[in-house]
Chain A
Amino acid sequence: MGAQEADFFLDSVKHLTDLSDCQGEVDHVSSGSAVVPETGRIASQSREDLISRYQRRVFAVIYRMTGRHSEVDDLCQETFLQIFRSLPGFREGTDLDAWVYRIAMNVSIDYHRRRSKEKGAIEVLGRNGSKNEEELPDEEKHAAVRKALDVLPAAQKSVVVLRLFEGLSHEEIAAILEIPAATVRWRLHSALEKLESLLGRYLDV
């Protein structure tokens, strides 16, 4: 994030935290106060800007982490609610991108934990299927990939999504997940080995 963008977001955060600070007063003081509408207007604009800035990225991360069309929207909403709720704890010098990614990842992983394992789905992989990729409709192949990804522990899946799809460096991922960069590399390589073994029949030429 460039310096100009960083300033913009810090300003946004400041306005939002200002609003958060004064909301308690709004409950007790007349809403006709001249200050409140002004602060509210700025904050409202900043909220929209922040959502616009990140909603596609948040959507993509959650979609790839969960693979659930029907629930991605709810999880995106939950992510942004958590982002706005935790704004007062945001400090200057924090990487806003990393912070948003971290919250989106946590929401996805919490969802992952809540969801029961699809035992039957796993059986499809590596069995009963045609050996010839050309005979397989794309939908089946894509479903197999989805299921293989769901077999990975959430910690490995997070690294795969952030590295392959978001194109982040090991160091950036380490900052988001708050783990050493060596652990990022190890998780990524373990995940690739596992995915290769699960999806082997789709990789033969």
Chain B
Amino acid sequence: MNCEQARGLIPAFWDGSLGPEEHQRVQQHLESCTACAESRDRIARLEALLKDSLRVPNAPDGSWADQQGRILAALESSAPGEDHRAPRRPYFRMALIAAAALVAAGIGILLWKEAPPHRSSVEVAEKLSPVIPSPRLPEPVPAPPETPTPVPPEAPPLPREALPSTTVAGLVPGSPEHLKQMADESVDVGLAETATERVVVFLGAADSRLQELRRVMGKDDVMAAALAKAYILLLREGIGPLLRDREESPESLGGARRIALERARKQEDSLSLLGGAASGTLKVTLNEAIEASRELAKP
């Protein structure tokens, strides 16, 4: 195992989430490499720093009983079945989360492209934060006419005409034009009115990241890994929550699930080919991307 491979696995090593063989291989590398051992020690120091800084303050005597009294009093004073929560606006909420996931993917790419590891990630985040759009609140729309569950043996073709033209030939990943393209994707997500439309936009963005990844792989593997991470983010934090949203109707989600399932399987095939040609951290990240595709492709 070389340093690049080990570095990619150190968080999982520290967290105890590696299999026994892989754990052993990382352990052996750490015993012989002071630089990687220092990376592991930094994570341990980070854990200690977090635990030290976020200690829960000691409560004064009687405060737990006071709190219990306040909760019980509030419970007594609230009418049965009354719900004091703010009215939920699922379309708005999901649109905002989705848009944020896209912008976060862009931030990730900038971080890997431009920011040295221990520095300007926050500056980059600040620079980008204004591009998060304020999606308008769409009117509730009737459920699509189809009744999609269970998944049919052959899913209908992806409505390609609905996909945004996100991939521009020759666009340099990490360039201002590329970031503008991702900002446009987030606006498209914000404007989408149904779960299916939102998933289609996300899948288009994920496809774009894969195409860009293919272009830079071998020339700039750091950028390639950043694009793979952006792809994972789009699937896990963008599409995944959309498909699990209990406030969406099953009819609406059925169409979105079918499209996601079909496309995720194709993307998994592409990633497997790319993963076969990769090495080091990029290979680890591509394997993670394959796993994200498989999660999405589970019926």
Residues of A within 8 A of B (CB): 20, 23-24, 27, 44, 47-48, 51-52, 55-56, 59-60, 63-64, 67, 69, 73, 76-78, 80-82, 84-85, 110, 113, 117, 119, 122-123, 125-126, 141-142, 145-146, 149, 151, 153, 155, 160, 163-165, 170, 178-180, 182-183, 185-190, 192-203, 205
Contacts and interface: CB of A to CB of B under 8 A. Distances in A.
Contacts of A119: 126, 129
Contacts of A142: 52-54
B49 A183 contact: no
Given A64-B54, A76-B67, A185 B17 contact: yes
B51 interface: yes
A51 B71 contact: yes
Interface string B86-108: 00000001000000100010000
Nearest to A76: B67
A179 B240 contact: yes
Contacts of A47: 72, 75
B45 A76 contact: no
A114 to B, nearest CB: 8
3 closest Cβ pairs, A-B complex: A200-B118, A145-B53, A189-B11
Interface residues of B, number: 59
Given A77-B74, A81-B74, A203-B46, A55 B54 contact: no
B221 interface: no
Interface of B: 11-12, 14-15, 17, 41-43, 45-47, 49-54, 56-57, 59, 64, 67-68, 70-72, 74-75, 78, 80-81, 83-85, 93, 100, 104, 111, 115, 117-123, 125-126, 129, 229, 232, 236-237, 240, 244, 288, 291-292, 295
Q: Is the interface of A mostly helix, strand, loop or mixed?
A: helix
A193 B39 CA distance: 11
Given A69-B57, A84-B75, A203 B49 contact: yes
A122 B75 contact: no
Contacts of B42: 196, 203
A54 to B, nearest CB: 11
Contacts of B75: 47, 80-81, 84
B126 A55 contact: no
A69 B43 CA distance: 28
Contacts of B232: 186
A24 B17 CA distance: 50
